[in-house]
Structure 1
C-alpha cells in the first residue's frame, strides 16, 4: 500500500522535557507527505506535493521546538473559537459582557483564538489504498478567561489522491496527492456559544532543500469573486469596497493584509459550493490551489497577508469577518450540541 503513517520525535519544548511527536502522512511512491504536531495546536509543519517530476515544499512553519514557542506569526495555526481580531478583546453575547486576553497589544486587540499551541490528542489513524488520514481532538472545559463556553474541536488531516477531490476543472493524475483538512467544533456546554473558525497557513514554493523560498514578488494570485473589507488603523472593519469579479493580481511590490467576503462557485453536478484561490510561481509556473467549502455556516471569508519578509503569503480561509464577535458578520451561534464544520483543501495544478 503506497500510503503510510509514521512518527518521529520532534524534540522537547524549552519549557518541558517530554519530546513532541511529529506524525508523517506519506505516499511512498511519489515522495509526497505532510507532517503534523498534535501536542502543539495540531499544526501542519510540512507540506510537500508533486507536480510532474518536481517536489515542492509549500508551507512555512517553525523548524524547531524553540521556534514554535517564539513564533508570533501563527504559522499553520487553527483559529478557534474566534478567527482574526476582537477589538479591545471585549464583546457582548446574550446580554453579558466578556473580555478575553489581548495578545495584539500594539493594536489593542485580541487575535486568533486560543487553541494554537494547545495539546490535541490523536483519536484515529487510517491508511487505505487511496489516502492516509489522521484525526485529532482538543477538548476545552470553558476555563479560559473571557470564553466560558466548553467545546470539542476535531480536525482531520487527509493526504489523498488528488483526483479524489470533487473540486477543480483539471482532474489530476492518480499519482499526485492533495491535502484535505476537515474540522468540526461542537458546543459541549449548556448555553449558547459564539464561534468562528479559521486556518492560518503561509504558502511558498521551494523546489529542493538547497534552495531558499521563492519571493512573492514574482508570483501572481488568482482571487475568486469577492467584496474586500475596509479596515481602520487597528485593522478592524469599518466598511466594504464594491464587489470585484474573479481576477488575477500581480504580487510584485503589492502589500496585502486584506479580508474578503467571497463569492462561491457551484459545480453543476454537486450541490456544494466552494471557492479556490490560486498562487502561481513565477519561477516554475506551478499553481498552488487553496480551496474552501462555502455556504451557510461554512468558510465564506478569506484573508490574504504578505509578511514583511515577502518569502511567503498567508491564504487564510475563515468562517467569519474580522471582529465578528462584535459585528456579527459570519458569526456562528451554537446551541448546546450544535456543530460548526467545513472543509479546506490544497493541491498543485
Structure 2
C-alpha cells in the first residue's frame, strides 16, 4: 500500500512542555506528503504535492516551535468559532451582549477565533489504497471570555488520490495526490450558539514570488471594508476572472458564487493560483451551499513570498451583521470540505 502515516518530534516549546509530535501522511511512491501538529492548533504545517516529475512545497508555515508561539500571521490556522474580524470584539446574540478578548489591538478587533493554539487530540488515523487520513478533535468547555458555548471541533486531513476530488482530473496513471480538509463543529452545549469556520493557509509554489503569479477568482461579489477592515457593504457582482499579481496588494473579501459539476450534485467554487513562469496551477476548492464555505478572503503579505487564500463560512464581522452566520442548536453541527490540488 503506497500510503503511510508516521510521526516525528517537532521539538519542545519554550514553555517546557513535552515535545510536539508531528504526523506525516505520505505517498511513498510519489514523494507527496502533508504534516500536521495536533497539539498546537491542529495546524497543517507542510504540504508537498507533485506535478509531472517535480515536487512543489505549497505552504509557508512556522519552521520551529518558537515560531509557532510567536506567529502573528495565523499561518495554516483553523479559524473557529469565528474567522476574520469582530468589530471591537463585541457582539449581541439572542438577547445577550458578549465581549471577546481583543487580539488585533491596532484595529480594535477580535480576530480569527481562539483555537489556533489549542491542543487537539488524535481521534484516529488510517491508510487505504487511495488515501492516508488523520482525524483530530478539540473539545471546548466554554471557558474563554466572550464565548461561553461548548463545542467539539473535529478536523479530518486526507492525503488523497487526486481524481477522487470534486472536479478532479483523472490522475490514476500519474499517481498524483491532493489534500482534502473536512471539518465538523458540534454544539455540545445546552443553548444555541453562533458559529462560523475558516482556514488560513499561505500558499506558494516552492517559495516563488507572488509577483510571478496570477490568481483566477470564481464568480463573486466583492465586499467593501472600512478603515478597520470591517465589512460595510458590497460592490456589484463580478464574473470569474484572472488577476495578475505583479505589484498587486490584496486584502479582499468576497461572497462567492458556486459552480457545479454535472457528475456531482454538490456545489463548489475553486480559486486558482498560477505560476506565470512554469504554468503550474494550484487549485483551492471549497464546498458551497447552505451553511457551507460561501465566502473567501485573499491576502498578499508585504514579504511577497506567498498569498493567503482563505475559505470561510461567513462574512467579516458575521457575529454582528449575520451574513453567513450559522446558529447551531444543541446537538447540531457545522461542516464542510476544502481541497487543494495541482494541475
The bucket for the TM-score relative to the shorter chain is over 0.9
Is 1:284 matched with 2:283? Answer: no
Is 1:275 matched with 2:269? Answer: yes
How far is 1:271 from its partner?
1.4
Separation in structure 2 between the aligned mates of residue 111 and residue 159 of structure 1, nearest angstrom? 29
The residue number in structure 1 matching 2:170 is: 171
Separation in structure 2 between the aligned mates of residue 46 and residue 249 of structure 1, nearest angstrom? 26
Deviates more, 1:309-318 or 1:265-274: 265-274
Separation in structure 2 between the aligned mates of residue 152 and residue 281 of structure 1, nearest angstrom? 39
The residue number in structure 2 matching 1:205 is: 205
Q: Is there any run of 5+ residues in structure 1 with no aligned partner, and where? A: 207-212
Map 1:93-242; keep pairs closer than 5 Å: 93-168=93-168, 170-174=169-173, 175-206=175-206, 213-242=207-236
Separation in structure 1 between the aligned mates of residue 264 and residue 35 of structure 2, nearest angstrom? 31
Separation in structure 2 between the aligned mates of residue 179 and residue 17 of structure 1, nearest angstrom? 30
Q: Under a length normalisation based on structure 1, what TM-score does the superposition of the two structures give?
A: 0.97
Q: Is there any run of 5+ residues in structure 2 with no aligned partner, and where? A: none
Q: 1:331 aligns with which of 325, 329, 339?
A: 325
How far is 1:20 from its partner?
0.1
Residues 82-136 of structure 1, C-alpha deviation per residue, up to 9 Å, x if partnerless? Answer: 0000000000000100000000000000000000010000010100111000000
Q: Secondary structure at the match of 1:242?
A: coil
Moved segments of 4+, more than 2 Å: 170-174
Separation in structure 2 between the aligned mates of residue 274 and residue 328 of structure 1, nearest angstrom? 22
Separation in structure 2 between the aligned mates of residue 239 and residue 184 of structure 1, nearest angstrom? 30
Residues 128-187 of structure 1, C-alpha deviation per residue, up to 9 Å, x if partnerless? Answer: 11100000000000000000000000000000110111324x433450000000000000
Q: 1:250 aligns with which of 238, 244, 249?
A: 244
The residue number in structure 1 matching 2:290 is: 296
Separation in structure 2 between the aligned mates of residue 167 and residue 332 of structure 1, nearest angstrom? 27
The count of residues paired between Structure 1 and Structure 2 equals 342
Separation in structure 1 between the aligned mates of residue 177 and residue 14 of structure 2, nearest angstrom? 35
Q: Under a length normalisation based on structure 2, what TM-score does the superposition of the two structures give?
A: 0.99
How far is 1:269 from its partner?
2.2
Map 1:60-75; keep pairs closer than 5 Å: 60-75=60-75
